[in-house]
Structure 1
Amino acid sequence: MSGQKDTPAKSRPTFLGFFKEIFNWYPSHYPSEERKLLFKLDVSILVFACLCFFVKYLDQTNISNAYVSGLKEDFALYGNELNYFNVCYFTAYVVFQVPGLLLMSRPKLARWLLPTLEILWGICTFAQSRVTNVHQLYALRFLVGMLEAPVFAGTHFILGSWYSGPELFKRAGTWFICNPLGSMVSGYLQSAAYTNLSGVGGMPGWRWLFIIDGIFTIPVAIIGFFIFPGIPDSPRPFYLTESDIDLAKERARKAGIRRPGKLNLDVFKRSLKRWHIWVFITCYACMIISSYPSSYMNLWLKAEGYSVTQVNQLPTVSYAIQIVASWFGTTIAAIYPSWAIFSSASLGCLFSTICMIVWHIPKGLKFAAWYLLGLSGCLSPILYSTINTIVKDDSEERALIMGSMMTFGYSFQIWVPLLIFPTAGPYGAPQWKKGWPVAFVFYFLLWAGFITSLVLYRR
């Protein structure tokens, strides 16, 4: 029940063979031309995608780090403003998902869309350092959400257009580590900005974080214009030869990955008639709801009286665990049944949420529970790689499903936090008397939905 139907069955490797298989990205039985092509794709797609994803999560996380590092006090934000910042971001993020993914499926646009959007959101990131009131910040969070919308699912779509089987799982996991890495580095950057840049140029440290993020973002976008290849049917970049493109298309044909077709209303009709879209958007909604509180360990630390430096740095351990879980979990899911890896990570998250529901537990166990939530790092790349495998026979449906997952999933991000995970009040952060039980239920439903998708695919 691995979810990788196109991968031939084989015996489980020995320990030494398992270790070698983890790092074997260019199998010796591949022809030399194919190994060279994979290397070129890895250097181009993964370098840009990882940098792009890194700065996206750097930008997305910085609002929380800025909030606990002086923004709250400077703007006298003592209500649910942090949630409202996220509502503005995710409202735009939701609205522009499906249009962005459908545009990504168009060969002529696929090469240029992400670098162009990244230039624009870099400008908006710089602008956040100059806001003078909370309303300007609301508007800029909306714009950043709109411009970042296609990055996550769009990159999964790109990966699924070039790679298949174990190749895909390994690269998706490697790419996904830039999610927690961006969040992790943001904590250290904010800590360094608070310590070393507060008062420089007459600005508090939290404003410098946005400037630093913008300095990271713009060069990455420029790199993307040169190296990002789009999809195999896109205009050929300089480093790929005509024979490389022909080989890439032949690989896709052998793997059953359908090339782009017409984009019309029939895409919606045929997608809505199949089970894929319904199961996968439900899975992703469960993932979004269940994972919401895991990124707010900093609120608990602040409530416990830890210093600003500790509030920014201690949560990075959780991001480090996410990095390991994302890479290692997804990599071994290319070797062993993905349902087993997905189930193990889900079990760790369920244990953590039980600890949070009880709440009054030793502080050491509380730290362990926060950190164990980092096991969720492998859930998303395994889910998306499975989708790329299952829906490889329809490029437009694949794009629509991934965009719809983000739209449906993050639509809950707009209003659920206000009701279930409020920042203040008797049911507010970080104890979330209503929120943690809800997270437990949706972690379980996510696991059940993933297993259901594999069962349906097998049948």
Structure 2
Amino acid sequence: MDVKQPPHVETPVAEESSSEVSNANESPKKISLWRRALGLIWDTFEGDPEERRFVRKVDYFLFSYVMLGYFIKYLDQQNYSNAFVSGMQEDLEMYGNERNLLVTYFNIGIIIGTIPSQLIQLQYVRPSIWIPSCELAWSILVMAMAGAKTPQTLYALRFFVGLLESCSFPGYAALLGSWYGPTQLAKRVALFEQSSAIASMFSGYLQAALYTGMNGKSGLKGWQWLFIFDAIISIPIAAWGFFAIPDHPSTTRAFWLKKTDREFAVQREVNMGRAPSSKLTWKKLRKIYTGWHLWAFIFPYLMVAQAGQGSGFFNLWLKDQGYSTSQINTIPTAGNAISVIASLFAGTIADRTGTRKETCAVICVIVIVSNILLSVWDIPRAALLLAFFLSFVSAAAQPLIIAWGQEVTQNNAELRQMLVATGNIFTYAFMAWIPLVAFPTYDAPHYKYGYQLLIMFGGLAIVGVYLFGWLDEWDRKRKATRAATGQEESGQGTSLAE
């Protein structure tokens, strides 16, 4: 016997259908002019509403923490420089190459800890636990630096601070690469990296204030108070990381993500062709380290980092020129501001146009000009000052390469995790010896061949950027050809799932 549907059941369906037709005929809602203008700078002001809502939530928690986390990382990494020119050199009798050795011991810690730290995050301990725990530990060690009586004590503390800090930069980069798309990543990586410049600015102003107001208080010098205050700032930010880091989309347990958000995050990864992380094996590691992607990424990543080292010796030149302690700590902050603006500008252009290669090349040319002026040296003081400020623009290149590398390897989660980690090992390995050889403290502020070496690195950076671009284009064409002919793709850029 046929059973007819009651009329009241059909009515809502008809109404819904009618509503859908009505909505389909309506013109799309216009975006206001101010929202369009803001959308040119930040992507959560335009585009798909659901995507905007999701990304905005990730910004509030993950991105805000990454900014603060890298801020304290760099604050605790570079505070020795402000302390050195604010009395630590004289109090600890550091008149030889001790300043550069502080960098070397820190870099050794970074080099030793980076790969194990990434493997721990991939295999054993969630990033939301591992990274904040390391941050709390190194913050305590930074406070202990205030009590150092000899350079040797500082060497040991700097080594362990570097060992613990090795988790942060590659860990942050991998997290951003997991939660943001290709049109969202470069500007955020740029801002995340430039929180280091903000940290340098803050450290300079803080040291100037402490030197003026706290020098001699409670029997401590101004440079000792700097280490103490840095730790006080760092500890609550590290604690926030336990709540703000969402791990990865496929493994997240973040309280601030609803079930629908988590489902959206996983589907979003699928839509972008981005592979979720899986268990790392020795076979996968072998494929990662024998494939071209990793090494083609590391070459320009390493070269742009080396080419931009000139800004690190700015305060030594200022001290030689007779500037006051307060000026030595504050004048370089203008260069940090330049690096922040340049990075945001370059990252926004790269995100909107996709011109990662060309934008990187322009930045490298500016840095080469800066190093040429510093190599000549015997030029008017204003020109030398300009050269130092131009060297800060170099900070805009590396974020573009990181975002580019995350994009090229988006369907290989394990490779994405190891890109920046391995790149950092090479970067810090170079920085462990280049300052000692090319920028010895006893030659400061005029170095015989240091800036000439940076010119070479700048040229190699341009070569590396174009080589990476060419290899990426070649790989895409090769995959397209194989797909067209029905061949199975098994290259490095594909998932390493077994």
Distance between the aligned counterparts of 1:141 and 1:283, measured in 2? Answer: 28
Identify which range, 102-111 or 311-320, moves more after superposition.
Answer: 102-111
1:458 lines up with 2:473 in the alignment: yes
Match of 1:22 in 2: 40
Match of 1:112 in 2: 129
Match of 1:33 in 2: 50
Match of 1:369 in 2: 387
Asked if the contact 1:90/1:142 (under 8 Å) is kept, the reply is yes
1:315 lines up with 2:310 in the alignment: no
Report the AA paired with residue 261 of structure 2: D
Match of 1:434 in 2: 449
Query: What secondary structure is seen at the aligned counterpart in 1 of 2:308?
Result: helix
Identify which range, 185-194 or 286-295, moves more after superposition.
Answer: 286-295
Runs of 4+ with deviation above 6 angstroms: 15-18
Match of 1:446 in 2: 461
Q: CA deviation at 1:286?
A: 1.6
Match of 1:357 in 2: 375
Distance between the aligned counterparts of 1:29 and 1:73, measured in 2? Answer: 57
Match of 2:116 in 1: 99
Give structure 1 stretches of 5+ with no counterpart.
1-14
Distance between the aligned counterparts of 2:57 and 2:38, measured in 1? Answer: 22
Asked if the contact 1:346/1:443 (under 8 Å) is kept, the reply is yes
TM-score (norm 2): 0.86
Larger Cα-atom Rg: 2
Report the AA paired with residue 83 of structure 1: N
Q: CA deviation at 1:291?
A: 2.1
Q: CA deviation at 1:106?
A: 4.3
Report the AA paired with residue 455 of structure 2: F
* 1:418–1:186 Cα change, 3 Å: same
Residue-by-residue CA offset, 1:154-196 (whole Å, 9 max, x unaligned): 1111001111211112221222220100011111111111111
1:58 lines up with 2:75 in the alignment: yes
Report the AA paired with residue 366 of structure 2: G
Distance between the aligned counterparts of 1:273 and 1:455, measured in 2? Answer: 19
Q: CA deviation at 1:455?
A: 1.4
Identify which range, 205-214 or 130-139, moves more after superposition.
Answer: 130-139
Q: CA deviation at 1:288?
A: 3.1
Asked if the contact 1:107/1:233 (under 8 Å) is kept, the reply is no
Q: CA deviation at 1:296?
A: 1.7
**Matched ranges for 1:35-434 at <5 A:** 35-106=52-123, 109-336=126-353, 337-424=355-442, 428-434=443-449
Q: CA deviation at 1:21?
A: 3.7
Asked if the contact 2:139/2:235 (under 8 Å) is kept, the reply is yes
Distance between the aligned counterparts of 1:122 and 1:22, measured in 2? Answer: 38
Q: CA deviation at 1:267?
A: 2.0
Distance between the aligned counterparts of 2:262 and 2:154, measured in 1? Answer: 44
Distance between the aligned counterparts of 2:299 and 2:47, measured in 1? Answer: 39
Query: What secondary structure is seen at the aligned counterpart in 2 of 1:105?
Result: helix
Residue-by-residue CA offset, 1:232-271 (whole Å, 9 max, x unaligned): 1334111101111111011111111111122111122212
Q: CA deviation at 1:44?
A: 0.8
Distance between the aligned counterparts of 1:27 and 1:189, measured in 2? Answer: 35
Residue-by-residue CA offset, 1:200-239 (whole Å, 9 max, x unaligned): 1111100000011001100001111122112113341111
Distance between the aligned counterparts of 1:200 and 1:170, measured in 2? Answer: 42
Report the AA paired with residue 75 of structure 1: L
Asked if the contact 2:246/2:253 (under 8 Å) is kept, the reply is yes
Asked if the contact 1:111/1:234 (under 8 Å) is kept, the reply is no
Q: CA deviation at 1:61?
A: 1.4
Asked if the contact 1:173/1:328 (under 8 Å) is kept, the reply is no
Asked if the contact 1:34/1:247 (under 8 Å) is kept, the reply is no
Report the AA paired with residue 355 of structure 1: L
Query: What secondary structure is seen at the aligned counterpart in 2 of 1:96?
Result: helix
TM-score (norm 1): 0.93
Greater RCO, 1 or 2 (C-alpha within 8 Å, sep 6+): 1
Asked if the contact 1:173/1:378 (under 8 Å) is kept, the reply is yes
Residue-by-residue CA offset, 1:373-418 (whole Å, 9 max, x unaligned): 1111211110100010011111111222221111112111111211
Residue-by-residue CA offset, 1:287-310 (whole Å, 9 max, x unaligned): 332222312200001111111111
Residue-by-residue CA offset, 1:98-135 (whole Å, 9 max, x unaligned): 11123333485122111111110110111111112211
Identify which range, 204-213 or 93-102, moves more after superposition.
Answer: 93-102
User: Could you say what the CA RMSD is over the residues aligned between the two structures, in angstroms?
Assistant: 1.7
Report the AA paired with residue 373 of structure 1: S
Q: CA deviation at 1:17?
A: 10
